[in-house]
Chain A
């Protein structure tokens, strides 16, 4: 995998950088579409974690069975946006046969992010398997993404090398993760999925048509933003 300089989140020797977070429904919806572009053009993108600090900008919340809010400090407007975002993500997930259950609490996904950093140096098929398993299980409420032991089990199941992960998690992995996260706001990143294309940041999978156009040689006018049209 491509080397990370945590102090320069826009720099990579890959044609495209992809920032993702396991707890984001929008990142989940972008994953397979992004793989498809890697496969179409025979290139490997530079996948990196952007661990969202959701309470800092969308308030905190915890729900019980049936989605009843047990505690939280979100404003009505923040709730309206969160509800719309999940409604929107769910309708696209449904069209693609994906299960997307809203989490009942806001998770710290940094262990899963450090797992992603660890898997970057593994076999590419194992790396994808790790992302697939992590996203799918998290949105089925079957994965505790803030538990390092759970992440290590996922690494094994994905076909990755678990030996040394515990030390990496406590040491180098944490350092790289935290340094990268600290550099993201100053570089202009605030959400996932984010793509770095030609040195510029593009937030959201609505830019994948542009990425396709960019990789295809940029013939003709650039396309407008659009979500996927691959409907049943």
Chain B
């Protein structure tokens, strides 16, 4: 979706599709939402407007690998957090298996700013490059085959996807950080707090479990198909 194809505005956000999704490559829940979201978009004849939202460390700490045999803390809040983290990991694992996805968690917090800038850059390329970038980045990161903190690795990925790796690198070294900050602030302003978050019908929905309601919103009104965009 190239610049100038703005179709929708929500606050400071300019969206290129009625189906906007905010993702972070280091979020397993974002990863698990990719295929179901693409399937819904295909069913409705839409492009997904993928946008990055960088989750802060404290927000996604539960998604890193947790020691499974550590005794539960006495403190109720800490105990609750540990039980919740273990549950979320187990739940993500069972649905990853169901989707046929490999999900190997990082053992430390990772910085996903480069992925996020890459997605902002991908949005400026003709579709469906952003779709391909999202799929390839997530799959490789969760197989531990992609160092998302390495500009060279990210540029190589873009090269493999037959896009302008040099253009990506120049973007990351110039306008990228400022654009990412603007994007992050715009999402903070509309109360995005987790990923995946869907922005549909001027409302936010956290998690892929909302896809039936999102589909209802997208089909009850007049939705422009991807064919109309070309």
Residues of A at the B interface (CB closer than 8 Å) are 53, 56-57, 77, 80-81, 83-84, 88, 91-92, 95, 185-186, 188-191, 201-204, 206, 221-222, 224-229, 231
Contacts and interface: CB of A to CB of B under 8 A. Distances in A.
Nearest to A227: B209
A77 B95 contact: no
A185 B193 contact: no
Contact of B193 (A81, A186, A202, A228): A81
A227 B213 contact: yes
Given A186-B72, A224-B208, A229 B213 contact: yes
A224 B36 contact: yes
Nearest to A221: B98
Interface stretch (B18-26, B79-87, B116-124, B146-154): B79-87
Nearest to A56: B76
A201 B88 CA distance: 11
Contact of B210 (A81, A190, A227): A227
B195 to A, nearest CB: 13
Is the contact region of chain B dominated by helix, strand, or loop, or is it mixed?
Answer: helix
A191 B84 contact: yes
A227 to B, nearest CB: 5
A190 B84 contact: yes
Contacts of B215: 229
Which range contains the number of B residues in contact with the other chain? 20 to 34
B89 to A, nearest CB: 11
B166 interface: no
A188 B83 contact: yes
B42 interface: no
Contacts of A80: 191, 193
B216 A229 contact: yes
B212 A185 contact: no
A185 B213 contact: no
Interface of B: 36, 58-59, 72, 76-77, 79-81, 83-84, 86-87, 91, 95, 98-99, 191, 193, 203-213, 215-216
A73 to B, nearest CB: 12
Given A56-B76, A57-B77, A185-B83, A227 B212 contact: yes
Contacts of B91: 202-203
Contact of A203 (B87, B204, B216): B87
Contacts of A225: 95, 207-209
Contacts of A203: 87, 91
A56 B77 CA distance: 5
A84 B191 contact: yes
A185 B209 contact: no
B81 A57 contact: yes
Chain A to chain B: the 8 pairs with minimum beta-carbon distance, closest first: A229-B212, A206-B209, A56-B76, A57-B80, A190-B83, A225-B209, A190-B84, A80-B193
B216 A231 contact: yes
A92 B214 CA distance: 12
A124 B215 CA distance: 37
B94 to A, nearest CB: 8
Contact of B206 (A53, A88, A191): A88
A182 B87 CA distance: 18
A185 B208 contact: no
A191 B84 CA distance: 8
A201 B209 contact: no
Contact of B80 (A83, A190, A201, A221): A190
A222 B98 contact: yes
Contacts of A81: 193
